[in-house]
Amino acid sequence: MENIEQLRKVATRAGKLLTSLSESIRQQKEELKLTEFYQEYSKAALYKLPKLSKGSVEYAVAEMEASGYIFKKKPSGNTMKYAMTIQNVIDLYFHRKVPKYRDRFDKAFTIFVCNLKGGGSKTVSTASLSHAFRAHPQLLFEDLRILAIDFDPQASLTMFLSHENSVGLVENTAAQAMLQNVSREELLSDFIVSSIIPGVDVIPASIDDAFLAEGWKGLCEEHLPGQNIHAVLKENIIDKLRYDYDFIFLDSGPHLDAFLKNCIGAADLMLTPLPPATVDFHSSLKFVASLPALIDSIEQDGHTCNLIGNVGFYVQNPEQV
């Protein structure tokens, strides 16, 4: 290329701007004291939550404080009022011995939000569901442990859940964890990072992952001989973490590549966002119609899919999900 220097200059400027943007977000969060999840509960607000009442809340709070537990409080005039975090609420449920989801279901349930139509709210839906499953008031007693795994080289899900890990080249990505076949302990310590909501974790993606997807078959033959190329995600990540999380959400790019096929091969359930705009809806229907053939091709290559189904859901405006 004749004008490669111009591309290098633009790339350098883009990299600096990206770093500056991430730093600006960090500074704004610190300035506005938004480094923790915003939702807080007064003691009275707990009376309306599932499996609680005024009497049970008052009794549990008194017992827990008597044993040394400290609930978050904020000044209000001359007094201190309860401003309980979701972890405080979850701990209160635990104190009352309310059964959790994992007392009934001991293995993680894997959900893949997928559509080959770009810009169809896949990533926003995945991030929203990850947060909602953990933090929705009606689900707090379940104490759901959530893991989101990002396979899109654009790393938008990583940006939503842990923006500081979405800038630059990230070595410990989900794609690398698959290829390196690391241990459960390494996954927990080196690859999984926390989000702003305690109990919602993410394994990041990076732009370099696109090169791995492109040469996936050859890389598997070299580094994972004998392993089915569509089963790597399930066997090398999800099966190792199936007792550490209750729900695992998967997000891939809008490409019919090795990562998308691995996500299908690992998922228990697929969700497909269906935007109503004619062009978007047309593309989405083409993807849904092609799913049986896509699953057949995966199984013909020797990997059995365990999908219980695919659920389409209406998205009125992807930008406002």
Q: Which tokens is 46 given?
A: 């707990």
269 part of a folded domain: yes
Same domain, 186 and 278: yes
pLDDT at 265: 96
120 part of a folded domain: yes
248 part of a folded domain: yes
Same domain, 243 and 312: yes
Is 145 within 8 Å of 155 (Cβ atoms)?
no
133 part of a folded domain: yes
Number of domains, the chain? 2
93 part of a folded domain: yes
Same domain, 53 and 163: no
What is the spatial distance between Cα 274 and Cα 279, in angstroms, rounded to a whole number?
11
Name the residue among 240, 267, 274 with its Cα closest to residue 251.
267
What is the spatial distance between Cα 319 and Cα 121, in angstroms, rounded to a whole number?
7
From residue 90, give the alpha-carbon distance in Å to each of 45, 98, 147, 197, 291: 14, 10, 18, 13, 39
pLDDT at 15: 66
**What DSSP character marks residue 235?**
I
pLDDT at 280: 73
Same domain, 229 and 251: yes
What is the spatial distance between Cα 126 and Cα 65, in angstroms, rounded to a whole number?
37
Same domain, 78 and 184: no
Three-class DSSP category at 137: helix
Rounded to 5°, angle at Cα 101 from 97 and 102: 90
From residue 130, give the alpha-carbon distance in Å to each of 107, 146, 193, 228, 236: 17, 6, 14, 29, 22
Same domain, 138 and 251: yes
Q: Which tokens is 223 given?
A: 């580094």
| Class of residue 11 by CB neighbours under 10 A (exposed 0-12, middle 13-18, buried 19+) | exposed
241 part of a folded domain: yes
Q: Which tokens is 230 given?
A: 């569509």
Same domain, 121 and 263: yes
Per-residue pLDDT tens listing for the chain (321 residues): 667 777 777 767 766 776 676 677 666 766 666 666 789 999 999 999 999 999 999 999 999 999 999 999 999 888 999 999 999 999 999 999 999 999 999 999 999 999 877 666 889 999 999 999 999 999 999 999 999 999 988 888 988 888 676 655 567 999 999 999 999 999 999 999 999 899 999 999 988 888 888 899 999 999 999 999 999 999 999 999 999 999 999 999 888 889 999 999 999 999 998 876 777 777 778 888 889 999 999 999 999 999 999 998 877 654 544
SS (H, E, C) 91-130: HHHHHCCCCCHHHHCCCCEEEEECCCCCCCCHHHHHHHHH
pLDDT at 318: 47
Which CATH number does the domain housing residue 269 bear? 3.40.50.300
Q: Please give the residue range of the domain that contains residue 162.
A: 102-320
Of 81, 98, 115, the position where a domain reaches its end is 98
Same domain, 179 and 245: yes
4 part of a folded domain: no
Q: Which tokens is 198 given?
A: 């305690």
Of 98, 113, 129, the position where a domain reaches its end is 98
- Give Cβ neighbours of residue 260 (< 8 Å, ≥ 6 apart): 114, 151, 252, 253
From residue 176, give the alpha-carbon distance in Å to each of 199, 255, 267, 273, 316: 23, 19, 19, 28, 35
Same domain, 66 and 115: no
In the chain, which residue ranges form alpha helices assigned H by DSSP?
4-31, 54-66, 86-95, 101-104, 122-135, 156-162, 174-180, 184-186, 209-214, 216-223, 232-233, 258-266, 278-300
Same domain, 85 and 193: no
pLDDT at 163: 65
What is the spatial distance between Cα 36 and Cα 302, in angstroms, rounded to a whole number?
45
Entry pTM: 0.88
pLDDT at 317: 58
Same domain, 79 and 133: no
From residue 269, give the alpha-carbon distance in Å to each of 111, 115, 182, 264: 5, 13, 25, 9
Which CATH number does the domain housing residue 81 bear? 1.10.1660.30
pLDDT at 17: 73
